[in-house]
């Protein structure tokens, strides 16, 4: 097993194009260099593969690379080991990289986004309208079958993700996956579902104000699923190529230094992911009004009740 490679392949699945993208690169390099110093060995060269959907702004990342290289070499007499960065556009629900080229796969808050809205939600008498009326995700109002449809889509997607990465990682390679999840077995988890409930309320308000048609709202669903710890474990065991090294749940910290409210921060985060789907379904004209309303309603809800979302970190080793 190749444990101390001369060339180390690291993939960031769902890298986005914000400041965290290259910050992660610096963190990985710093951690490996420190480990090599302790072992009194030379650090390897680094191959970073940045993956996201083709619509991601990879040009912004590439334009920032000269500054990254200057930072990595600053204060080092012999400079930083060679660092190669490449963009790999495409969905991570399927193959992205060649066989056995990766030593580490990292994904932060990407795997709770499904490859598509479950098709089973449109198996009712009207194929253009979801069976999940008065909701855009799993809620207490959802009819029988909605939970199963979302869970089945998650199983299909996560299984394909694991199978694809098992072919791209070397034996002994690791994955570190962070995603939103549920705190228990019940699908209507307050920490997650309230965010989608408020988005539904915001859209319903725009229906009342005549900005969007009610039929458009009734046919909209989100491509999202928050799995439980047990569901993740089940899929890893079923795939069969990975050993679970660690799996932990933690609550999201709502305290940070910022000049915007929690609701507005949540609205920006949700908009960054959902904007293309919402714009395609309802039109671009509602976006500013919708997310201003959404941020305000989130703040109002949080003033009445302290609600925390659950995240899960999963560490896997390929065997």
What kind and span of H or E run contains 292? helix 287-304
For the stretch 244-280, pLDDT in tens is 999 999 987 665 546 788 899 889 988 988 898 999 9
Is residue 73 helix, strand or coil?
helix
Give the pLDDT score at 4: 77
Specify the higher pLDDT residue, 294 or 258. 294
Give the pLDDT score at 123: 82
Domain total of the chain: 1
Q: Do residues 310 and 194 touch, judged by C-beta distance below 8 A?
A: no
The values of phi and psi at residue 11, to 5°, are: -115, 130
The model's confidence at residue 239, banded by pLDDT at 50, 70 and 90, is very high
pTM: 0.92
Give the pLDDT score at 62: 96
Question: What percent of the chain is modeled with pLDDT above 90?
Answer: 77
Q: Do residues 254 and 309 touch, judged by C-beta distance below 8 A?
A: no
- Rounded CA-CA distance 318/102 in Å is 11
| Residue 247 is assigned to a structural domain of this protein | yes
| Residue 130 is assigned to a structural domain of this protein | yes
Note down the domain range covering 243: 91-318
| Residue 35 is assigned to a structural domain of this protein | no
Residues 6+ apart with CB under 8 A from 315: 174, 175, 176, 177, 244, 245, 246, 247
- Rounded CA-CA distance 252/271 in Å is 19
Give the pLDDT score at 183: 87
- Is residue 190 scored above 70 in pLDDT? yes
Least confident of 54-68, 119-133, 225-239, 268-282: 119-133
Q: Which residues pair with 178 in a beta bridge?
A: 108, 313
The model's confidence at residue 305, banded by pLDDT at 50, 70 and 90, is confident
Give the pLDDT score at 255: 58
| Residue 46 is assigned to a structural domain of this protein | no
Give the pLDDT score at 1: 43
| Residue 84 is assigned to a structural domain of this protein | no
Residue found under tokens 């390099």: 29
What kind and span of H or E run contains 142? none
For the stretch 31-80, pLDDT in tens is 999 999 999 999 999 999 999 999 999 999 999 999 999 999 988 877 78
- Rounded CA-CA distance 24/106 in Å is 10
Give the pLDDT score at 3: 56
Average pLDDT for 100-116:
96
Give the pLDDT score at 184: 85
| Residue 244 is assigned to a structural domain of this protein | yes
| Residue 279 is assigned to a structural domain of this protein | yes
Looking up residue 139, the CATH number of its domain turns out to be 1.10.1200.270
| Residue 180 is assigned to a structural domain of this protein | yes
Average pLDDT for 158-176:
98
Average pLDDT for 214-221:
94
Specify the higher pLDDT residue, 281 or 126. 281
- Rounded CA-CA distance 72/56 in Å is 25
- Rounded CA-CA distance 88/241 in Å is 24
């Amino acid at each position: 097993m190749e444990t101390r490679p001369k060339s180390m392949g690291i993939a960031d699945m769902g890298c986005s194009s914000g400041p965290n993208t290259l910050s992660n690169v610096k963190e990985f390099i710093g951690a490996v260099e420190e480990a090599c110093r302790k072992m009194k060995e030379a650090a390897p060269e680094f191959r970073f593969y940045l993956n996201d959907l083709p619509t991601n702004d990879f040009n912004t990342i590439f334009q920032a690379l000269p500054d990254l290289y200057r930072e990595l070499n600053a204060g080092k007499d012999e400079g930083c080991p060679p660092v190669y960065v490449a963009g790999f556009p495409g969905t991570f629900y399927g193959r992205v990289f060649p066989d056995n080229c990766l030593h580490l796969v990292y994904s932060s808050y990407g795997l709770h986004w499904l490859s598509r809205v479950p098709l089973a939600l449109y198996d009712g008498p009207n194929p253009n309208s979801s069976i999940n009326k008065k909701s855009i995700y799993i809620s207490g109002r959802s009819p029988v079958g909605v939970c199963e449809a979302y869970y089945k889509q998650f199983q299909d997607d996560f299984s394909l993700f694991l199978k694809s990465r098992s072919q791209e990682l070397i034996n002994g390679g690791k994955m570190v996956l962070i995603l939103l999840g549920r705190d228990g077995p019940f699908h209507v988890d307050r920490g997650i579902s309230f965010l989608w409930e408020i988005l539904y309320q915001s859209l319903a308000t725009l229906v009342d104000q005549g900005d969007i048609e009610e039929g458009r709202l009734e046919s909209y669903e989100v491509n999202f699923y928050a799995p439980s710890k047990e569901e993740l474990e089940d899929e890893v065991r079923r795939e069969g190529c990975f050993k679970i090294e660690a799996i932990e749940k933690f609550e999201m910290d709502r305290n940070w230094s910022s000049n915007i409210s929690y609701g507005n921060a949540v609205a920006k985060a949700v908009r960054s992911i959902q904007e293309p789907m919402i714009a395609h379904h309802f039109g671009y004209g509602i976006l500013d009004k919708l997310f201003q309303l959404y941020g305000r309603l989130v703040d109002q809800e949080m003033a009445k009740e302290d609600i925390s979302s659950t995240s899960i970190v999963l560490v896997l080793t390929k065997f």
